[in-house]
Amino acid sequence: MIDQDHKNMTFAAIRKDQAGFRITPNLADYARACAEFSWQSVERDLSSGRQGSGLNIADEAVDRHAAGPRALHLALRWLGKQGEVLDYTYADLRRLSNRFANVLRGLAIGKGDRVFVLAGRIPELYITALGTLKNGSVFCPLFSAFGPEPIQQRLAIGEGNVLVTTDTLYHRRKISELRESLPALRQVLVIGGGDMTAPPNTHSFHELMHTASEEFTLAPTDPEDMALIHFTSGTTGKPKGAVHVHQAVVAHHITGKYALDFHPDDVFWCTADPGWVTGTSYGIISPLTHGITSIIDEADFEAERWYRIIQEQKVTIWYTAPTAVRMMMKAGTEIIRKYDLRSLRFISSVGEPLNPEAVMWGQEAFGMPIHDNWWQTETGGIMIANYNALEIRPGSMGKPLPGIEAAIIQKRKDGTVIELKADAVGELALKPGWPSMFRAYLHEEERYRKCFAGGWYLTGDLAKKDADGYFWFIGRADDVIKSAGHLIGPFEVESALMEHPAIAEAGVIGKPDAMIGEVVKAFVSLKKGYEPSEALRKELLGHARSRLGPAVAPREIEFQSSVPKTRSGKIMRRLLKARELGLPEGDLSTLEND
């Protein structure tokens, strides 16, 4: 299927032999698809006029299929940690999401109200997401490995009205204590919770579901109505709540078709957690809009478990992340040979740079390269991708989706923007107007406005474009940390560390790591009366972990007599990083002298 050609690259380009495809790729002619593309035609494809002028993500994902020939097609297959299997057809999903929408209605939760979910990958999460959207309420997922502080912050910024969580997380994350500081939080629904002493407005999820009706009339939603809030981290201040609207489903759908090559008989497995945008856009919405089957695995990564899932579930399309690919590479190709993975026909990855070695390793391990693609919370869906039928240049993120205009730009001091020539490094920018573009950062108009200049959305990533239109990732333009595919704001971590009585100052950086991209490393200086010691280091690590949770807390802490700052008092993370990596320290003119 593959024919390699040596180009001016570290790794040879991978060309696809059209005769080698089991199924003709949806995007067989890239240039033509781009030339003929219109968002209106995708929209027509979707709603088929069922809702008049309205548009609702859950209607497109579930009810459209439940009312047609795919009603009894398997929509979700859930694989529990203990080997349980639960199947949901499109008709099942319709009934269950209707029930949940009725539960919300019964609690006087309506259009625009915010429904947060703090749970692992369990069926209730998926039902909550779909029922919330049907009710016209806003779905806001929280990653289950967040500690109490990130949870509190996000619920406060998002003005969460409902929280759905499990009894374990309710206790472990101290939700009852957090509630005092969250006046908007009217209702908490607990999954499980047999022995819970229930504070007021705390309900059993399953009891409410049990008595709710299976019939529900969809709340009328406009394409521009708020549907989803995804939180993402910035360099400074609080996390940002990126707002997405129902119209986003148009992008979720077409990117599933072109970038992930969905066909009606596909069994798709997105390994991302719905606590992050990939796990919602592609772990829930996009495959459902295509009426195909999705696999959900409750458990965390374990190489053999994953191969067994592909074999047993006959997964055809697999969407994963570079950290997972690197862990599989570490586990070796030997174990892969024990499994029959011939069902696979397309593998894709997102979230961090995918090293060319990893692209090629896919070839050796699975008989096909791994297709990198690029997007971010703000874009709501895949923007740049390596497609099934197109030549791959290992190490490149690929080419923009039809309908997406991307460029490498430079913002001048006077605010104007110039487009750079081929191979020049600049900021990756997108022409606004695609359906899944974020519509706001909650309560932060200025921060939102700053993302746009000269008619472009500025992504905050540095990249270059080669003469043939392939995009290559260079790095972030800011200090945000990417660890195991998750964005972490250094400021959030520093703030949590500063709460400890021993800490005077804290500076946090991402330290390159071969496996997970970057690990969070903190440099701290101590207050008078405290001395660096191994015991204190452990205590600080424990403190950060209990506040922030394992996904965000630093793995390493180093004591310093003082943390470098600018004269205006800003922590110089760039300098900390340069020193850590033994790189040139650069311009130190603004460094404060102690």
Q: Please report, as ranges, the residues that interact with ligand AMP according to CB under 6 A.
A: 232, 277, 350-354, 372-374, 376-377, 397, 459-461, 473, 476, 482, 487
| Residue type (1 letter), 571 | I
Angle at 421 between CA 420 and CA 427, to 5 degrees: 35
Backbone conformation region of residue 473, classed left if phi is above 0, alpha if psi is from -120 to 50, else beta: beta
Shortest CB 476 distance to ligand AMP, Å:
5
Minimum gap (Å) between residue 48 Cβ and ligand AMP: 31
Q: What is the dihedral of CA 87, 124, 220, 241, to 10 degrees?
A: -130
Task: Please state, in angstroms and as integers, the Cα–Cα distance from residue 497 to each residue in 283, 530, 573, 593, 594, following that order.
Answer: 33, 15, 15, 23, 22
Q: Toward ligand AMP, which CB reaches closer, 199 or 432?
A: 432
Of 26 and 376, nearer to ligand AMP (C-beta) is 376
Q: Which of 219, 261, 461 is nearest to 353 (CA)?
A: 461
DSSP percent split of the chain into helix, strand, coil, nearest 5: 30, 25, 45
Nearer to ligand AMP, 46 or 354 (CB): 354
| Nearest CB to ligand AMP, comparing residues 95 and 476 | 476
- Alpha-carbon distances, residue 493 vs 143, 238, 467, 579, 582 (angstroms): 16, 11, 40, 20, 23
CB of 480 to ligand AMP, least distance (A): 8
Greatest CA separation for the chain: 73
Can you tell me the distance from the alpha carbon of 129 to that of 380, in angstroms, rounded to the nearest whole number?
16
SS3 42: helix
Q: Which CB sits closer to ligand AMP, 109 or 350?
A: 350
**Residue 251 CB, nearest approach to ligand AMP (Å):** 15
Contacts of 424 (CB under 8 A, 6+ apart): 408, 464
Q: Measuring CA to CA, which residue among 106, 89, 99 is closest to residue 131? A: 99
CB of 353 to ligand AMP, least distance (A): 4
Q: What are phi and psi of 268, to 5 degrees?
A: -110, 140
Minimum distance of ligand AMP from residue 173's CB (angstroms): 21
**Min separation Cβ 517 and ligand AMP, Å:** 9
Residue 134 or 230: the one with the smaller Cβ distance to ligand AMP is 230
Least separation in angstroms between CB 323 and ligand AMP: 12
Cross-strand partners of 212: none
DSSP H or E stretch at residue 490: helix 490-498
Q: Which is nearer to ligand AMP, 253 or 482 (CB)?
A: 482
Q: Which residue has the tokens 């894709």?
A: 348
Nearer to ligand AMP (CB atom), residue 316 or residue 386: 386
Residue 486, SS3?
strand
For 185, the token pair is 């939080």
- DSSP characters for 277-288? HHHHIIIIIHHH
Residue closer to ligand AMP (CB basis): 221 or 379: 379
Beta carbon nearer to ligand AMP, 506 or 551: 551
Please say whether the beta carbons of 154 and 229 come within 8 A. Answer: no
**Residue 435 C-beta: closest distance to ligand AMP, Å:** 18
Beta carbon of residue 484, minimum distance to ligand AMP (angstroms, whole number):
11
